């Protein structure tokens, strides 16, 4: 009887846990739908900006910008994106592992020359474990992604780069490919590599005012800021997809465990009933 009560208690516990994982899966699914819609709007806009950049660069092969300046790396900034919470499979761990690897590559520069911007509480915790100092607290941005908030970080990084206080900015984040697949990417944010303009069709199709160089100087900072925002949304989308998948797996495991516990419970219950019938038939009094 004691074993039956124990199994029944475990069944109730698994049922309660399954309710929680189901609720989390539904919340993540709703958030995923919202960020998917946002990123589906962002990608075409970003591509069109790059197309405009490419058109403006036609015939301006000698164009130079402070944001394109390649120089010897003495100080680097790393922007890593995770979530504030767990229960998302390997989502946060994958970023922590890649960040550790990248930091080790730059450690010969000196710890004071590796500046880390942790977007998310989990990566901030990983940075502290490595004994590194963060450039600030950015948990709120990971919780509620917004263009205004990430734009401030982009502007700060751009100012540091122009002032030659940092020589390179690296991004580490998850790229959303599908609900079941999120890829960890490492990209150079600054200096920016400009797309090549192959054919000079702009003169025939467009009237450019005041001139190409002025437009390029105005457009380039917007492209850079939008890039960081796109990465933020990409990471948030990947987080919701990873958590939804993790909760779906948890639900499947809970269902399997419930079936096993029910089978074990029924077997023990039947065995108990059989033993009691045998005792009665044999005249045994307990």
**What is the model's pLDDT at position 65?**
87
**CATH classification at residue 181:** 3.40.1380.10
**What is the model's pLDDT at position 286?**
46
**What is the model's pLDDT at position 210?**
80
- Report d(CA 54, CA 195) in Å as an integer: 6
Into how many domains does the chain fold? 1
Q: Within a domain: residue 103?
A: yes
pLDDT < 50 regions, the chain: 202, 285-286
Q: Within a domain: residue 54?
A: yes
CA dihedral 40, 43, 46, 48 (to 10 degrees): -90
Domain encompassing residue 166: 27-245
Contact 150, 232 (CB under 8 A): yes
Q: Within a domain: residue 250?
A: no
Contacts 24+ apart (CB under 8 A), 62-67: 63/194, 63/212, 63/213, 63/216, 65/192, 65/194, 65/216, 65/217, 65/220, 66/161, 66/162, 67/158, 67/161, 67/162, 67/190, 67/191, 67/192, 67/220, 67/221, 67/224
Q: Within a domain: residue 86?
A: yes
Q: Within a domain: residue 1?
A: no
**What is the model's pLDDT at position 217?**
87
Q: Within a domain: residue 142?
A: yes
Contact 236, 62 (CB under 8 A): no
Q: Within a domain: residue 80?
A: yes
Q: Within a domain: residue 198?
A: yes
- Report d(CA 278, CA 268) in Å as an integer: 15
């Amino acid at each position: 009887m004691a074993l039956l009560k124990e199994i029944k208690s475990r069944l109730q516990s698994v049922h309660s846990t399954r309710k929680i994982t189901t609720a989390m899966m539904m919340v993540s699914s709703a958030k995923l739908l919202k960020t998917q819609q946002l990123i589906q709007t962002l990608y075409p806009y970003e591509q069109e900006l790059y197309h405009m950049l490419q058109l403006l660069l036609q015939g301006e092969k000698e164009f130079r910008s402070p944001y394109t300046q390649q120089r010897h790396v003495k100080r680097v900034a790393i922007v890593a994106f995770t979530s504030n919470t767990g229960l998302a499979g390997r989502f946060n761990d994958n970023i922590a592992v890649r960040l550790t690897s990248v930091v080790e590559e730059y450690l010969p520069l000196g710890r004071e020359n590796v500046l880390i911007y942790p977007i998310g509480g989990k990566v901030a915790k990983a940075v502290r474990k490595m004994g590194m100092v963060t450039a600030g607290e950015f948990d709120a941005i990971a919780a509620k992604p917004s263009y205004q908030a990430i734009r401030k970080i982009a502007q700060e990084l751009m100012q540091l780069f122009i002032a030659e206080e940092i020589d390179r900015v690296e991004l580490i984040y998850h790229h959303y490919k599908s609900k079941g697949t999120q890829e960890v990417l490492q990209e150079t944010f600054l200096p920016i590599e400009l797309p090549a303009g192959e054919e000079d069709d702009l003169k025939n199709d467009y009237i450019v005012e005041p001139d190409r160089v002025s437009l390029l100087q105005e457009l380039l900072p917007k492209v850079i800021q939008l890039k960081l925002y796109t990465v933020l949304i990409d990471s948030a989308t990947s987080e919701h997809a990873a958590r939804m998948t993790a909760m779906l797996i948890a639900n499947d495991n809970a269902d399997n465990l419930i079936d096993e516990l029910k089978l074990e419970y029924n077997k023990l219950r039947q065995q108990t009933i059989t033993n009691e019938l045998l005792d009665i038939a044999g005249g045994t009094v307990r």
